[in-house]
Structure 1
Amino acid sequence: MTSDAAPASRTTGDTAQPGQPGRPGDTAQRSLEHWSEAGRAEMEAFYALATEDYHQLALAADWPATLGAVAHDGWRLLDVACGSGKFPTALTTYTDIADLPELAYDLLDPSTFSIAEARAQLRPPFRAAEEFAITLQALPTDTEPYDVVWATHALYALRPDELGDAAARFVAALRPGGLGLVAQATARSHYLAFYDAFRAGVRDETPYTSAEQVRDALESAGARVRTQVITYTSGTADRSVAEGFLQRCAFDDTTSLEEMEAAPVLGDYLAGCRDASGAYSFDHEVMLLWL
């Protein structure tokens, strides 16, 4: 997954070692370890397909009007688990937002590598501002509320026992009348279905967090949430591309595509993603949670 996107609001978590019998590994910790310079090749392999996630988000709304409704001189945005900056890049590439007032863009991510990557991608009207090398739930409670807060494909590795606190901080970080957005895959989408199969057939890990769980947590934190669902497909006939993409989906660059295809449960899931020629196709269902 991605750090802003597919899985990637990360927590530092405990340090249980993946693969120990009867002891699930900490997905959040493995995610954080993969957001580093050492994981760059894996990250770039993932984006051969995953860039489409952000393209689809850019097409999902009238962004000049949506952002324009809350725009004013001196407005501020918080990007939660900013990752590699693929969402703001998609907005400046596929939408006409350049005429909006300059927007101070604060970057939050436990990975300083991710913050540097995202900062380098920002283009007008986005202006890089403050940096928070922390988790969402650690955001100081005295932080001035933002006009815009979003987390795009960012909360997958958020541990279940920390979801409530993270949702509360997300809601509190948004000023009354501001724009909040979480974009997250649903339980039936590829990212969640694949990882459940990976956990069952290869190695037990903390499960990913679904859009449905995030929606419920935001509502429990007092937010009024409007949902929008988008569906799309990504795929490739190139096995090396498929391998890189799937390895990043699991934050595991040690298990080959052949091993995944032969694994119990996961092999069956992947067989359902291939056509007669062997080409892979992955079905995505993403819920946009508008606050």
Structure 2
Amino acid sequence: MSDLLARSSAHWSEAGRAGMEAFYRLATDDYRHLALARDWRALFEDAQARAGDRPLRLLDVACGSGKFPVALARHAGLTEARIRPVDTALLDPSAFSIAEARAALPAPFRAVAEHETTLQDFAPPPGGHDIVWATHALYAIPESEIAAAMERFRAAIAPGGTGLIAHSAAAGHYIDFHRRFLAAFGPEGAAPYVPAEAIAGALRASGAEVEVQEVTYDSVAGPDETDAVEGYLQRCVFDERASLAGMEAAAPLADYLAECRGPDGWRFPQRVWLMTVTG
């Protein structure tokens, strides 16, 4: 297990719940923006038409706390969609995350399977899934394992199915902030997050077709929400060593955070690639 995955797994635990909740004070909005970025109802209804009378099969990769299905139910009209219940398989290396996601699943999603594993170690079942997605879910995968993880991602998609990956581009907050944090605080030799550009490249190298839609927005917090901002930034890097004040004093984070902070509060610039994977 890589150091990054170990720290990520420690945060996705009951002991890390306070940090998780602080992170989601800002990060829940990531999923609202994704839910509004495309016509998800049409995607599900088209998939249901291909599936016929059986329920759709969905694989939620690195399911986290189940925020994306909740956002789709709230903002994308799935509760009114002409689809049968969506049989949802939850994949995550953290049993805590799987339990959180299962408890949060709204209609039309229903949990039918659990896979406590990483994507790169996952053995997709025969037949595959109509829809496979990973939404802000792949940051802890080492660069050396991205190709293997993308092979498993593609293998999990049924013939004629669709894969969807939402991940920060190199210029987006999650990648840029992590790179600057490592430069300021180390540890020396630690690997930065892999950006969406590298994920798309690995998929294309494997023979997949990848369509990219860039979703841009700001993650915002008020001027008095310093505790929430500190928790958010620590969770962005799975590292609680540095306080917000410490981060604001350390180059090259200081200049970046100064640009993000204004009289009306905090604005962290997000550039997210929403990738549709076929073939």
Matched with 2:239 is: 252
How far does the alpha carbon of each residue in 1:1-47 deviate from its partner, in whole angstroms, 9 at most, with x for none? xxxxxxxxxxx32xxxxxxxxxxxx2222111111000000000011
Matched with 2:248 is: 261
The structure 1 segments of at least 4 consecutive aligned residues displaced by more than 6 Å after TM superposition are none
Is 1:77 aligned to residue 58 of structure 2? yes
Q: Partners in 2 of 1:102 and 1:274 — Cα distance?
A: 44
Tell me the C-alpha RMSD between the 2 structures. 1.2
Matched with 2:179 is: 196
Unaligned runs of 5+ in 1: 1-11, 14-25
Is 1:106 aligned to residue 89 of structure 2? yes
- The amino acid of 2:246's aligned partner reads E
Task: Please state whether the residue corresponding to 2:58 is helix, strand or coil.
Answer: strand
Q: Partners in 2 of 1:196 and 1:103 — Cα distance?
A: 38
How far does the alpha carbon of each residue in 1:46-78 deviate from its partner, in whole angstroms, 9 at most, with x for none? 111101100000001111111111113232110
23, 26, 39: which is aligned to 1:46?
Answer: 23
Q: Partners in 2 of 1:263 and 1:230 — Cα distance?
A: 30
How high is the sequence identity, in percent, across the aligned residues? 49
Shift in Å, 1:194: 0.5
- The amino acid of 1:272's aligned partner reads E
Q: Partners in 1 of 2:173 and 2:36 — Cα distance?
A: 20
Matched with 1:28 is: 5
TM-score by length of 2: 0.93
Matched with 1:93 is: 74
Q: Partners in 2 of 1:246 and 1:142 — Cα distance?
A: 37
Q: Is the 8 A contact 2:59 2:133 kept in 1?
A: yes
Q: Is the 8 A contact 2:157 2:163 kept in 1?
A: yes
Matched with 2:209 is: 224
Shift in Å, 1:153: 0.4
Q: Is the 8 A contact 2:125 2:156 kept in 1?
A: no
The aligned runs of 1:29-178 (5 Å cut-off) are: 29-71=6-48, 72=51, 73-98=54-79, 99=81, 100-178=83-161
Q: Is the 8 A contact 1:27 1:207 kept in 2?
A: no
TM-score by length of 1: 0.89
Shift in Å, 1:142: 4.6
Matched with 1:286 is: 272
Q: Is the 8 A contact 2:41 2:77 kept in 1?
A: yes
Q: Partners in 1 of 2:237 and 2:118 — Cα distance?
A: 20
Aligned residues: 267
- The amino acid of 2:257's aligned partner reads L
Task: Please state whether the residue corresponding to 2:132 is helix, strand or coil.
Answer: strand
Matched with 1:239 is: 226
Q: Partners in 2 of 1:159 and 1:253 — Cα distance?
A: 21
More helix by share: 2
Unaligned runs of 5+ in 2: none
Task: Please state whether the residue corresponding to 2:159 is helix, strand or coil.
Answer: strand
Q: Partners in 1 of 2:97 and 2:193 — Cα distance?
A: 20
Q: Partners in 2 of 1:279 and 1:123 — Cα distance?
A: 33
Cα 1:74–1:235 shift into 2, 3 Å: closer
Is 1:215 aligned to residue 220 of structure 2? no
Task: Please state whether the residue corresponding to 1:83 is helix, strand or coil.
Answer: coil
